[in-house]
């Protein structure tokens, strides 16, 4: 992943230095378990533990000749350990080390992503608390529908990212699995008890069964959870982009005093973070497809998945890590224009209360279809003339026979849309700012 979208802590997980260090961690855990089981002499284990080391440059130098990264790694370590190195990698195949180490990396990456989700939820909870009763227009098909509150909108975001959190936790568990079962998964050269001991020491679950590799449906589930998280990021980034449009102007991304929005137009303040997040989400969806393509491998394994995973696993985790951080900052610093929200509520002269008028007429005894036509014809007049809907329905002879102006006026009260805000917030565990 390019440096522009890489944050240091997540990026460090995918360096060659960290990869080889994790491989060594697995190899040493195996040697220790074998030494305790009496399969490696104590003095040799002591030498391995003390001397096992590598340099990335040396591994790359060896790999240029042998064209096999695990062999190059083992050779570099053996140069430092000496004769006792004959016990390193005993009974293992390359994928035992690579896949188990990859599981450790994916678990660590998942933990960082979960921290990012926590920050997004905290930002959404803050805005929800601040604006629980801030009225705004709700929209369907991009058209004014009925009133809602900005706090409810942000509570919805908080709830959605709770599901993002749950999916990432589930995916973390699915990939948190190691295997040390050999070339075709039969444990022909290493006792399964060693696998159990090593996985327990590393904080992983041993695979119930494997081939030469861990099955790639696990990794596909992990990347799919990341792509779904990216889709939720995009869903809210797009929401804020729409609310920032000149015709709406209800919210705005933070815009610094020295920031510039356009090289040509000095007035521009563009939703650049939201647009960036929407674009990056597309990349994550592509990685999910690639991860699914990696599931059907030949027999006990081929390496068609290996090359793609060197790209998609680092990139997907790095991208989502950055996206979550950017979204959390966007939401936390969001400028909310309460006055503009109120102005937009009044934009359609009361048309947004048409359903309540309809319901009142039905409750008063009118047939629903007939009442619908009465309200609709006045709504259309209001659209064309700009006259308040209340005045039109109160003057309509069919409606006036059934409902008084006082009853109709009550239909235009915003308070009915706030009745269950507190209950919703309580159910989500969200506070409401006094």
Q: Do residues 179 and 195 lie in contact, with contact meaning Cβ atoms separated by under 8 Å?
A: yes
Q: How many domains does the chain have?
A: 3
Together in a domain, 202 and 327:
yes
Catalytic pick among 262, 304, 307, 385: 262
Question: Is 428 within the bounds of a domain?
Answer: no
Note if 262 is an active site residue.
yes
Instruction: For the beta carbon of residue 235, count every other beta carbon within 10 angstroms.
Output: 14
Together in a domain, 103 and 231:
yes
Name the domain boundary from 53, 72, 90.
Answer: 90
Q: How far is CA 75 from the centre of its chain?
A: 40
Q: Do residues 176 and 107 lie in contact, with contact meaning Cβ atoms separated by under 8 Å?
A: yes
Phi/psi at 137 (5° precision) = -85, 135
Name the domain boundary from 295, 317, 345.
Answer: 345
Q: Do residues 26 and 198 lie in contact, with contact meaning Cβ atoms separated by under 8 Å?
A: yes
* Cross-strand pairs, 137: 147
Catalytic pick among 141, 257, 263, 299: 141
Note if 210 is an active site residue.
no
Together in a domain, 126 and 185:
yes
Question: Is 423 within the bounds of a domain?
Answer: no
Residue 416 has which token pair? 């009915």
Judged on CB neighbours under 10 Å (0-12, 13-18, 19+), 247 is: exposed
- Per-residue pLDDT in tens (0 to 9) along the chain, 434 residues: 789 999 999 999 999 999 999 999 999 999 999 999 999 999 999 999 999 999 999 999 999 999 999 999 999 999 999 999 999 999 999 999 999 999 999 999 999 999 999 999 999 999 999 999 999 999 999 999 999 999 999 999 999 999 999 999 999 999 999 999 999 999 999 999 999 999 999 999 999 999 999 999 999 999 999 999 999 999 999 999 999 999 999 999 886 667 776 667 777 688 889 999 999 999 999 999 999 999 999 999 999 999 999 999 999 999 999 999 999 999 999 999 999 999 999 999 999 999 999 999 999 999 999 999 999 999 999 999 999 999 999 999 999 999 999 999 999 999 888 989 999 999 999 999 86
CATH of the domain at 404: 1.10.40.30
CATH of the domain at 286: 1.20.200.10
Phi/psi at 335 (5° precision) = -90, 120
């Amino acid at each position: 992943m390019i440096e522009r979208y890489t944050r240091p802590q997540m990026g460090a997980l995918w360096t060659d230095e960290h990869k080889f260090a994790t491989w060594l961690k697995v190899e040493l855990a195996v040697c220790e378990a074998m030494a305790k089981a009496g399969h490696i002499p104590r003095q040799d284990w002591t030498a391995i533990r003390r001397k096992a080391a590598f340099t990335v440059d040396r591994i790359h130098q060896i790999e240029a000749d042998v064209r096999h990264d695990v062999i190059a790694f083992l050779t570099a370590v053996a140069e430092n350990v000496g004769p006792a190195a004959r016990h390193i990698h005993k009974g293992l195949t390359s994928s035992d080390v690579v896949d188990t180490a990859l599981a450790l990396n994916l678990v660590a990456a998942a933990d960082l992503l979960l921290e990012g989700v926590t920050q997004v939820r905290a930002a959404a909870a803050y805005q929800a608390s601040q604006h629980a009763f801030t009225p705004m227009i709700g929209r369907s098909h991009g058209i004014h529908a009925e009133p809602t509150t900005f706090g409810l909108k942000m509570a919805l975001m908080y709830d959605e990212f709770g599901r993002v959190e749950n999916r990432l936790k589930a995916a973390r568990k699915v990939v948190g699995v190691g295997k040390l079962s050999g070339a075709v998964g039969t444990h022909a050269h290493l006792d399964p008890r060693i696998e159990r001991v090593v996985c327990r020491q590393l904080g992983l679950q041993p695979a119930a069964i494997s081939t030469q590799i861990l099955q790639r449906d696990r990794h596909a589930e992990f990347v799919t959870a990341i792509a779904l998280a990216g889709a939720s990021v995009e869903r809210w980034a797009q929401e804020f982009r729409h609310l920032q449009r000149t015709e709406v102007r209800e919210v705005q991304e933070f815009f610094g005093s020295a920031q510039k929005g356009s090289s040509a137009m000095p007035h521009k303040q563009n939703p650049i973070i939201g647009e960036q997040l929407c674009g990056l989400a597309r990349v994550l969806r592509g990685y999910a497809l690639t991860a699914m393509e990696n599931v059907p491998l030949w027999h006990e394994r081929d390496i068609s998945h290996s090359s793609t995973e060197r790209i998609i696993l680092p990139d997907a985790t790095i991208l989502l890590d950055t996206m979550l951080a950017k979204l959390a900052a966007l939401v936390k610093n969001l400028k909310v224009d309460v006055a503009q929200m109120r102005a937009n509520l009044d934009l359609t002269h009361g048309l947004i209360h048409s359903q309540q008028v309809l319901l009142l007429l039905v409750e008063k005894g009118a047939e629903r279809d007939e009442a619908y036509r009465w309200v609709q014809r006045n709504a259309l007049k209001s659209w064309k003339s700009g006259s308040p809907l209340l005045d039109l329905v109160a003057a309509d002879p069919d409606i006036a026979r059934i409902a008084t102006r006082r009853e109709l006026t009550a239909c235009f009260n915003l308070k009915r849309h706030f009745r269950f805000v507190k209950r919703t917030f309580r159910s989500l565990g969200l506070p409401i700012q006094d």
